[in-house]
C-alpha cells in the first residue's frame, strides 16, 4: 500500500514541478506586464554563437579523428607517382629521400622518442580541416594548386632553413615569399614566414612532416588566398530569404514554461495553425489573409487604444506621421488586426519595404539578413489574451504597432537596411554586436526632438511601463555611438538602466556607417532594388559599373539643380 502510494507520488512529481514553475513565472509578472525575462535579438545571437561553436567543435573533432584513422601521412601524390607508407618521402633533415627516413618520416634522431605517439595524436588545426575538406571533394580538388602561408618557429636557427626549402621543392612546391626575424619566444631562435604554392594534398603532407620535427617549436598554417571561404552563407537574392526561416524554438510556448500560453492547449494549437501560413510561404506568393478571432481582435484593441493615448506626448514625429497615414489608409483601426498583405503594400509605396510572414522568433542572422533586402519578417500570431501588454517574443501586435510606422519613414527605413547589409557575411561576434545595436536603437531607441526626448524604439512604443521609465529621470542616457553601444550589456530581466539617444536618424546612420567600415568582413555589399539582388563589390569591374551608375545619377541631379536655379532667377 505504502509502496503504491509512493509510486503515485513519484509519478505526480513532474506535473507538480511544472505547475509550480508556471505559477512562479506568472507570479513574477510586474505591474505593467513584464515577466522575469524578456526575449531579444541579442539573446538569440548569443545562443546562435554558442550553437555554432559547439557544432564547429564537433565537426573539427570528427575531421581530426578521420584524419588520424585514415593515416594522412601514408598517401600523397607527387608528379602522378603514388607514394605509400612503404616508400620514402622528403624529409626536413636534408630535403631529400635518404636512408635514415623511415616510412616517409624523419629519422628517429630528429623526431625524438615520442615520434610514434606524435603521429597517433596528430591534431589538425581548423585551417587544415578546412583545407582537407576542400581537397577531399574530388580528385581534381585534391590536385588544385593552393597558395598558403606557413609560420615556422625555428629552434636551431638558420641552419634548418635550407632543409625546409629543399623539402618544399621535393613536395613540388614553389616558394613565393620568405622572411625571417629573431623570435621573441624563449627557446626559439627565429620565426620564418613562408608563402608557398603547391597542390592541396602535398601542402597537407608538408605541414604534417614539418610538425614531426623537433627542429620547430611550432608550425602554423595561416589562411591565405581563400583556402576556403569561412564567410558565413548569406542570401544574394530576395528569393533566398525562403531559406532564412530558422526559428529559435526554445521560446515556443510548448517548450518555455514561462510563456503565458504554456498551459493553454487551445492557444498552442492556434499558434501552430497560423504558423503553417509562414511555413508554406515562398518568394512571390501573396500573403494569405488570417481570420482573427474576436478574442484576438479584442487584445489588439486594448493595446491599440493605449498606444493612441501615449503616442501624442511620447512618440517621435516620424512615428506619429506614419501612424496617421496608416489610419487614413484604413489599415490601422481599433477593432481589426491589419492583414500583412495590406501593410506590405502600404510600405512598398512609401519606402520600398515589404513584409513576409514568419512562423516565430527567427535567428538573429536570418532576421537581420532580411532587412538588407528591405524585407521585414513579421509574425501573424497574437499574444496570449491573459497578457495583452506583454509577449515573451515578438507577435503581430508588437510588429504592427512597434515597427511598421517607422518602416514607412524613408530615413529610418534606410537605417534599418544599413544594419541588415552590415550583417551579411559578418562573423558570429559581429552579429552579436549588430544585434546589440539593433536592441538599443530599433527596439529601445530614444531621439531628440525640439530639445525634448522622444521614443522611436518599437519595444518602448508598445510597452507602457518601459516607455514611462525611459522618459523619466531614473535611467542613464548616453549619446548613441555604435562602437560603445555594440558592447553594452543589455538588461533582459527588468527595465533598461541605460538608453542611447540619437541626435537624428541621419546622424545615427552616419555614425553607424563609419563603425561598420571597421568590421572584419573583407568585402562591401550593396542592394540593387531593380534586381532585388545584393551585389558583392569585390572586383574592379563591379566597382567601375557602380561608378558609371553613380555618374549617371549625378548627371540627373546636376541638370535638375541647374533648372531649379534657372527658374529661380527668372
Q: Say yes or no: 499 and 456 in one domain.
A: yes
Q: Say yes or no: 417 and 465 in one domain.
A: yes
Picking from 196, 222, 248, the residue at the C-terminal end of a domain is: 222
Per-residue pLDDT of the chain (570 residues; tens, 9 = 90+): 444 444 444 444 444 433 433 333 333 333 333 333 455 666 666 666 666 666 656 655 665 565 555 444 333 334 443 333 344 445 554 444 333 333 333 333 333 334 333 343 445 676 777 777 777 777 887 888 888 888 889 888 787 888 888 889 889 999 988 888 888 888 888 888 899 999 988 988 888 888 888 888 888 887 554 444 457 889 999 999 999 888 765 456 665 666 777 777 888 889 889 989 989 999 999 999 999 999 999 999 999 999 999 999 999 999 999 999 999 999 999 999 999 999 999 999 999 999 999 988 888 999 999 999 999 999 999 988 887 777 767 889 999 999 999 999 999 999 999 999 999 999 889 999 999 999 999 999 999 998 899 999 998 988 777 888 899 999 999 999 999 999 998 776 678 899 999 998 888 888 998 998 888 888 899 999 999 999 998 888 888 888 888 888 899 888 888 888 877 655
Q: Which of 48, 296, 399, 443 is catalytic?
A: 443
Q: Is 398 annotated as a binding residue?
A: yes
Note whether 239 and 285 are within 8 A (CB): no
Q: Say yes or no: 501 and 550 in one domain.
A: no
Q: Say yes or no: 318 and 359 in one domain.
A: yes
In the prediction, which pLDDT does 367 show? 94
> Has residue 230 been placed in a domain?
no
CATH number for the domain spanning 189: value is 3.30.70.260
Q: Which of 398, 416, 423, 469 is catalytic?
A: 398
Instruction: Report the distance separating Cα 296 and Cα 302, nearest Å.
Output: 10
In the prediction, which pLDDT does 186 show? 86
Residue-wise burial string across 516-553, b where 16 or more C-beta atoms lie within 10 A, e elsewhere: beeeebeeebebeeeebbbeeeeeeeeeeeeeeeeeee
Q: Say yes or no: 182 and 264 in one domain.
A: no
Instruction: Report the distance separating Cα 267 and Cα 294, nearest Å.
Output: 14
Q: Say yes or no: 522 and 442 in one domain.
A: yes
Q: Say yes or no: 205 and 280 in one domain.
A: no
Residue 390 is among the residues annotated as catalytic for this protein: no
Q: Which of 403, 432, 466, 469 is catalytic?
A: 403
Instruction: Report the distance separating Cα 173 and Cα 61, nearest Å.
Output: 29
Residue 520 is among the residues annotated as catalytic for this protein: no
Residue 370 is among the residues annotated as catalytic for this protein: no
Q: Is 403 annotated as a binding residue?
A: yes
In the prediction, which pLDDT does 326 show? 97
Q: Say yes or no: 217 and 166 in one domain.
A: yes
> Has residue 31 been placed in a domain?
no
Q: Which of 462, 463, 469, 532 is catalytic?
A: 462
Q: Say yes or no: 356 and 265 in one domain.
A: yes
Residue 469 is among the residues annotated as catalytic for this protein: no
In the prediction, which pLDDT does 5 show? 43
How many C-beta neighbours within 10 Å does residue 55 have?
A: 10
Q: Say yes or no: 262 and 345 in one domain.
A: yes
In the prediction, which pLDDT does 223 show? 56
Q: Which residues contact 306 (CB under 8 A, 6 or more apart)?
A: 389, 464
In the prediction, which pLDDT does 29 show? 34
CATH number for the domain spanning 391: value is 1.10.800.10
> Has residue 112 been placed in a domain?
no
Q: Is 169 annotated as a binding residue?
A: no
Mark out the alpha helices in 351-427 (DSSP H runs): 364-372, 396-397, 404-407, 410-423
> Has residue 27 been placed in a domain?
no
> What is the domain extent for residue 339?
238-528
In the prediction, which pLDDT does 94 show? 46
> Has residue 270 been placed in a domain?
yes
Instruction: Report the distance separating Cα 514 and Cα 519, nearest Å.
Output: 10
Nearest to 382 by CA among 263, 266, 493, 247: 266
Q: Which residues contact 330 (CB under 8 A, 6 or more apart)?
A: none
Instruction: Report the distance separating Cα 181 and Cα 171, nearest Å.
Output: 25
Picking from 222, 246, 266, the residue at the C-terminal end of a domain is: 222
Q: Say yes or no: 320 and 442 in one domain.
A: yes
Q: Say yes or no: 466 and 544 in one domain.
A: no
> Has residue 96 been placed in a domain?
no
Question: Into how many domains does the chain fold?
Answer: 3
Q: Look at strands 216-222 and 145-154 and give their pairing.
A: antiparallel
Alpha-carbon distance values, 493 to 35, 267, 312, 462, 517 (Å): 8, 25, 28, 17, 33
> Has residue 246 been placed in a domain?
yes
> Has residue 354 been placed in a domain?
yes
Amino acid at each position: 500500500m505504502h509502496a503504491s502510494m509512493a509510486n503515485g507520488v513519484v509519478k505526480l512529481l513532474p506535473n507538480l514541478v511544472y505547475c509550480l514553475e508556471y505559477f512562479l513565472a506568472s507570479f513574477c509578472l510586474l505591474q505593467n506586464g513584464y515577466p522575469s525575462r524578456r526575449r531579444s535579438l541579442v539573446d538569440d545571437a548569443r545562443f546562435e554563437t554558442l550553437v555554432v561553436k559547439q557544432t564547429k567543435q564537433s565537426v573539427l573533432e570528427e575531421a581530426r579523428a578521420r584524419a588520424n584513422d585514415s593515416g594522412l601521412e601514408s598517401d600523397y601524390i607527387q608528379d602522378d607517382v603514388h607514394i605509400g607508407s612503404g616508400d620514402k618521402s622528403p624529409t626536413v633533415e636534408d630535403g631529400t629521400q635518404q636512408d635514415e627516413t623511415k616510412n616517409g618520416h624523419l629519422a628517429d634522431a630528429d623526431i625524438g622518442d615520442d615520434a610514434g605517439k606524435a603521429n597517433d595524436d596528430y591534431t589538425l588545426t581548423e585551417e587544415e580541416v578546412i583545407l582537407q575538406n576542400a581537397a577531399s571533394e574530388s580528385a581534381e580538388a585534391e590536385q588544385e594548386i593552393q597558395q598558403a602561408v606557413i609560420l615556422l618557429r625555428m629552434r636551431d636557427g638558420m641552419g634548418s632553413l635550407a632543409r625546409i626549402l629543399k623539402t618544399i621543392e621535393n613536395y613540388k612546391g614553389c616558394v613565393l615569399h620568405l622572411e625571417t626575424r629573431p623570435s621573441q619566444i624563449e627557446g626559439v631562435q627565429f620565426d620564418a614566414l613562408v608563402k608557398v604554392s603547391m597542390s592541396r594534398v602535398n601542402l597537407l603532407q608538408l605541414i604534417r612532416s614539418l610538425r614531426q620535427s623537433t627542429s620547430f617549436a611550432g608550425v602554423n598554417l595561416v589562411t591565405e588566398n581563400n583556402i576556403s571561404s569561412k564567410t558565413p552563407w548569406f542570401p544574394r537574392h530576395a528569393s533566398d530569404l525562403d531559406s532564412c526561416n530558422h526559428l529559435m524554438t526554445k521560446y515556443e510556448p510548448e517548450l518555455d514554461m514561462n510563456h503565458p500560453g504554456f498551459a493553454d492547449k487551445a492557444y498552442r494549437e492556434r499558434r501552430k495553425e497560423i504558423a503553417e501560413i509562414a511555413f508554406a510561404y515562398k518568394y512571390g506568393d501573396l500573403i494569405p489573409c488570417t481570420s482573427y478571432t474576436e478574442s484576438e481582435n479584442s487584445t489588439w484593441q486594448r493595446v491599440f487604444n493605449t498606444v493612441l493615448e501615449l503616442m501624442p506626448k511620447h512618440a517621435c514625429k516620424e512615428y506619429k506621421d506614419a501612424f496617421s497615414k496608416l489610419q487614413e489608409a484604413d489599415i490601422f483601426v481599433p477593432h481589426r488586426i491589419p492583414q500583412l498583405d495590406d501593410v506590405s503594400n502600404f510600405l512598398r509605396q512609401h519606402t520600398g519595404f515589404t513584409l513576409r510572414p514568419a512562423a516565430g522568433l527567427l535567428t538573429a542572422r536570418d532576421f537581420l539578413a532580411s532587412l538588407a533586402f528591405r524585407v521585414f519578417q513579421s509574425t501573424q500570431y497574437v499574444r496570449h489574451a491573459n497578457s495583452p501588454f506583454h509577449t515573451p517574443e515578438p507577435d503581430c501586435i508588437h510588429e504592427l504597432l512597434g515597427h511598421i510606422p517607422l518602416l514607412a519613414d524613408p530615413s529610418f527605413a534606410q537605417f534599418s537596411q544599413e544594419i541588415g547589409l552590415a550583417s551579411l557575411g559578418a562573423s558570429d561576434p559581429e552579429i552579436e554586436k549588430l544585434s546589440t545595436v539593433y536592441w538599443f536603437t530599433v527596439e529601445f531607441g530614444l531621439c531628440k526632438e525640439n530639445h525634448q526626448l522622444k521614443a522611436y524604439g518599437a519595444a518602448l512604443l508598445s510597452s507602457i511601463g518601459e516607455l514611462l521609465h525611459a522618459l523619466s529621470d531614473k535611467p542613464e542616457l548616453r549619446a548613441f555611438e555604435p562602437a560603445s553601444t555594440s558592447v553594452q550589456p543589455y538588461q533582459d530581466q527588468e527595465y533598461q538602466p541605460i538608453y542611447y539617444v540619437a541626435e537624428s536618424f541621419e546622424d545615427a546612420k552616419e555614425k553607424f556607417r563609419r563603425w561598420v567600415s571597421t568590421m572584419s568582413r573583407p568585402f562591401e555589399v550593396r542592394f540593387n532594388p531593380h534586381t532585388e539582388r545584393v551585389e558583392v563589390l569585390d572586383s574592379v569591374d563591379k566597382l567601375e559599373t557602380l561608378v558609371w551608375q553613380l555618374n549617371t545619377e549625378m548627371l540627373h541631379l546636376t541638370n535638375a539643380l541647374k533648372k531649379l536655379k534657372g527658374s529661380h532667377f527668372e
